[in-house]
A and B are shown apart, each in its own frame.
Chain A
C-alpha cells in the first residue's frame, strides 16, 4: 500500500536538504560561468599554447565522469595540503566540470554569429575591444541562454552525485529517509517531485529571460 502520510512527511527533511542541492548547483554554475568564459577566451586566443590548454581542459573534463572527478578532488586536495570542507570541494569540482561545457556553449554561440557582424564594425574603424563588448558578446550571450539553462538543469540533477563526498543533499537525504521509514517508493517519489519542481522553475526562468532579452 502506498503511504500518502510518508510521502508528504518526506517533503520537510528533503526540502531542508534541497538547500545543498541548490547551493552546489547554483555556486557550481556561477563558478562554471567565470571559468568557462576564461577557457572560451583561451580557446579563441591567437596564442597557440592557450588554445591547446583549452582543448585539453575541455576534453579531460568532458571525458571523465563527474563522480570520478568528485572523488579525485576530494582525495587530491588534502594530499596537496589544501584542507577545505567537503562542500567547497564539491562546488569547485562541479564548477570546473561545468566550465568545460559552458566554454563550448559560448564558443559555439560566438562562432554562430555571421562574420558580417564584426566586419561591419571593423569597416567603420571600431577597435577590437568595442567589437567584442558591443557587437559580439551581447548577441552571443542571448544566443547561448537556452543552452545555459539546459546546462543548469543538468547540474541540478548531477548535484546528486556530491552525496559521495558526504553532503546531505536531496538524494542522500532521501536514501537516509528511505532507510528509516522502510518506505523507499514514497520517499524517492517525493525526491523526484522536488527535483522536478526546481527544474520547472529554472526552465520557466529561462523562457522569461529569453523572451526579455530576445533580439
Chain B
C-alpha cells in the first residue's frame, strides 16, 4: 500500500486575462481514492488538474495537499521555487501527449528523475526504473526509444516515470485521449492496478467506462464551474443537473453506432 495524500481545493479562481477559467471551485480528493473529472471540452477540467501541482498558477483560493498550501506561502506570497519542487516530488503527473523525452530510452526516461531529483546513483536508479517498467509490463522494451514504442507503450512508460518517484498522489490529464482505441485498454489496466494499490488519483477523462467502474467519486465540470460531485452511479446514471444529462446524451450519441 502506498502512503496516499489528500487534496483540498477551496474557492479556487483562475483567470486568463479577462476570461475566468475556474470559478470558485471547491473539491476534496480523499486519500487512496480515485476521483474522475468529466465534462465538455474547455470546461476547465485540465486547468483544475494542473492547478493541483501548480503547473498552472491559480489566482485566488487554495489548493492544499496534506494540509500544505501549494504555490503560495500565504495570501499573495509565492512559494519559493525550491519548496515547490520539493512538493512536486510526491505528485506524479501523466499527460495526454505522454511527453516522454525522445532522446532517452524508456529506462533513461524513468531513471532521469531518480538521478536528478532524488539524487540516486546511476545503478540504483536503473534498478528502480527497471522495476517501475516491469510494473507497467514493459520489461522487454526498456532499451527502446519512445519513437519505437506504440502510443500505449509510451503512455505506460510515462506512468512508470511518475510512479518510480514514489508519489503519494497521481494526476492524469486525459491519459488515453491521444491513443488509438485498441491501445486504450492497456493504459486503463495499469491505472486500475495503481488504484487497487490505494494511490490517490485525480483523472481527467472521457472514458466513462473507467469513471463508472474505477472511480470512487466523479466531478462534473462545465464552463469553469464544478456542477456536481457524487458517486459514479449518481452522476452517470441519475444525474441531478440538466447540464450533466445533456453532456451524457451527447456522449452516448457520439459513441452509438
> Which residues of chain A have a CB within 8 Å of any CB of chain B?
114, 116-117, 119-128, 130, 134-135, 138-139, 142, 215
Q: Could you tell me if A134 and B55 are in contact, using CB atoms closer than 8 angstroms?
A: no
Q: Flag whether B91 is at the interface (Cβ < 8 A).
A: yes
Pick from A116, A125, A135, A138: contact of B88, CB below 8 A.
A125
Classify the interface of chain A: helix, strand, loop or mixed.
Answer: helix
Pick from B88, B103, B145: contact of A123, CB below 8 A.
B88
Q: Could you tell me if A135 and B97 are in contact, using CB atoms closer than 8 angstroms?
A: no
CA distance A114 to B96 in the complex (A): 13
Residues of A within 8 Å of B91, CB to CB, are 123
CA distance A163 to B89 in the complex (A): 59
Residues of B within 8 Å of A120, CB to CB, are 93, 95, 99-101, 158, 161
Can you pick out 24 interface pairs between chain A and chain B where the beta carbons lie within 8 Å of each other?
A114-B97, A116-B97, A117-B99, A119-B55, A119-B95, A119-B99, A120-B95, A120-B99, A120-B101, A121-B101, A121-B112, A122-B88, A123-B55, A123-B93, A124-B88, A124-B117, A124-B161, A124-B165, A127-B85, A134-B112, A138-B103, A139-B103, A215-B102, A215-B103
CA distance A122 to B55 in the complex (A): 8
CB distance from B191 to the nearest CB of A (A): 17
CA distance A211 to B232 in the complex (A): 51
Indicate the member of A122, A123, A138, A142 with the most B CB atoms within 10 Å: A123
Besides A126-B117, A135-B101, 20 new A-B residue pairs in contact (Cβ under 8 A), listed by A number: A116-B97, A120-B99, A120-B100, A120-B158, A121-B101, A122-B55, A123-B92, A123-B93, A124-B117, A125-B85, A125-B89, A126-B85, A127-B85, A127-B117, A130-B116, A130-B117, A134-B112, A134-B116, A138-B103, A139-B103
Residues of A within 8 Å of B145, CB to CB, are 215
Residues of A within 8 Å of B117, CB to CB, are 124-127, 130
CA distance A117 to B158 in the complex (A): 12
- B113's nearest neighbour on chain A, judged by CB, is A124
CB distance from A126 to the nearest CB of B (A): 5
Residues of A within 8 Å of B97, CB to CB, are 114, 116
Residues of A within 8 Å of B55, CB to CB, are 119, 122-123
CB distance from B170 to the nearest CB of A (A): 11
> Which residues of chain B have a CB within 8 Å of any CB of chain A?
53, 55, 81, 85-89, 91-93, 95, 97, 99-103, 112-113, 116-117, 145, 147, 158, 161-162, 165
CA distance A119 to B55 in the complex (A): 8
CA distance A130 to B112 in the complex (A): 10
Residues of B within 8 Å of A116, CB to CB, are 95, 97, 99
Q: Could you tell me if A123 and B116 are in contact, using CB atoms closer than 8 angstroms?
A: no
CA distance A135 to B161 in the complex (A): 15
Ranked 10 nearest A-B pairs via Cβ = A120-B99, A116-B99, A125-B88, A123-B93, A124-B113, A125-B89, A125-B85, A215-B103, A130-B116, A215-B102
Q: Could you tell me if B89 and A117 are in contact, using CB atoms closer than 8 angstroms?
A: no
Residues of B within 8 Å of A117, CB to CB, are 99, 101
Q: Could you tell me if A127 and B116 are in contact, using CB atoms closer than 8 angstroms?
A: yes
Residues of B within 8 Å of A138, CB to CB, are 103
Pick from B92, B100, B147: contact of A124, CB below 8 A.
B92
Q: Could you tell me if A124 and B103 are in contact, using CB atoms closer than 8 angstroms?
A: no
Q: Could you tell me if B99 and A114 are in contact, using CB atoms closer than 8 angstroms?
A: yes
CA distance A121 to B103 in the complex (A): 14
Q: Could you tell me if A125 and B101 are in contact, using CB atoms closer than 8 angstroms?
A: no
Residues of A within 8 Å of B92, CB to CB, are 123-124
Residues of A within 8 Å of B101, CB to CB, are 117, 120-121, 135, 139
Residues of B within 8 Å of A119, CB to CB, are 55, 95, 99
CB distance from A142 to the nearest CB of B (A): 7
Residues of A within 8 Å of B85, CB to CB, are 125-127
- B97's nearest neighbour on chain A, judged by CB, is A116
Q: Could you tell me if B93 and A142 are in contact, using CB atoms closer than 8 angstroms?
A: no
- B147's nearest neighbour on chain A, judged by CB, is A215
CB distance from B23 to the nearest CB of A (A): 25
Question: With A119-B55, A142-B103 as given contacts, are A125 and B86 in contact (CB-CB < 8 Å)?
Answer: yes
CA distance A123 to B89 in the complex (A): 8
CA distance A126 to B75 in the complex (A): 26
Indicate the member of A114, A117, A124 with the most B CB atoms within 10 Å: A124
CA distance A133 to B113 in the complex (A): 13
Q: Could you tell me if A124 and B162 are in contact, using CB atoms closer than 8 angstroms?
A: yes
Residues of B within 8 Å of A135, CB to CB, are 101
